[in-house]
Each structure stands twice: as C-alpha cells, then as structure tokens.
Amino acid sequence: MKLLITGDIHGRSDLLEKVIKNEEGFDLHLNTGDLGLDIKTVEKAKMIAVKGNNDYYHDLPTERLIEFDGLKILLTHGHLQSVKYGLQELIDLAESLKVDLCIFGHTHEAFYKTIHNITYINPGALSEFKDKSYAVFEKGKVSFIHVD
C-alpha cells in the first residue's frame, strides 16, 4: 500500500502535477486542504481532500475518516484543532476516534511522530518558498520528498 500525502498547495498546480508524475502507482492520494485549486484539478489529481482555512469556495468536509487496507485514517487540515499552537487537541480527537493514522496540515512543516500507537503525519507544504515537501506512507514507513 502506498499513500501519497500532499497539503497546503495554495494553487501550485504545477508542483502538484510534478509530484503525481514522480509518484506513479500510489493507492490513495490524501490532501490536507488549503488547495487553492479548482475542482477539476482536484478530481484529475484523484485526491481525497478536506477543507482548509483558505478553501472558501470548496464544499469539502473539514475532517474525513477513511478506512483503507486495514487502517483507520483521520484526515484533517488542523486549523480547527489549533495545531499551530500544539498537538493536544488533535491527539485528543485522534484518540477518541481510535485511528491508526492522523494526517494533518496547516503548519507548513513536515512532521512525523507516533504518539500512543497513532502515527501523525504532516506532509509540509507544496507552496513554501524554500522547503516544498510532500509525504509518502508505504509499508509502514514515512518518507518526505522535497520538490524544487
């Protein structure tokens, strides 16, 4: 199983296309929101996305629970859990939902940590000026890939 994880694209469809081309063969494409893309681009990218704090024109849920390949995954942007100020609200939510993976964005910083048997992944942002990144979760391991 290969999960492609992107987030905080903020309209950079050029970088999204590059990422998709680099990561052929993924099983799911999960996106943490702040897309800045039209719905046709989202559909073409075959992504399951949530609404970020800048996705004013998208009618997407703010959170999704996804069951895939034996894993229960929480996908959220993170702004509603105040992730810029710490992870406790996100941890409380993930634990209450008994998920295996919690994927979030909003901070624009790549992050990977297992806390109380839940793996937390933030892919970073494709829109950053200096450190553009996304994540791949494959065979239980997380890799961060930097994009130029």
Tokens 């992730």 belong to 83
Give the DSSP per-residue string, 117-143: TEEEEEE-BSS-SS-EEEEEEETTEEE
Residues 7-49: pLDDT tens digits? 999 999 999 999 999 998 999 999 999 999 998 999 999 999 9
Full residue range of the structural domain in which residue 37 is found: 2-147
Domains in the chain: how many in total?
A: 1
28 within 8 A of 48, measured Cβ to Cβ: yes
The mean pLDDT value for 72-89 works out to: 98
What is residue 68's predicted lDDT score, i.e. its pLDDT? 96
What is residue 83's predicted lDDT score, i.e. its pLDDT? 98
* Sign of the CA dihedral running 116, 144, 83, 70: negative
- pLDDT band of residue 111 (cuts 50, 70, 90) is very high
User: How many angstroms separate the CA atoms of 126 and 12, rounded?
Assistant: 7
Residue 36's domain is classified under what CATH number?
Answer: 3.60.21.10
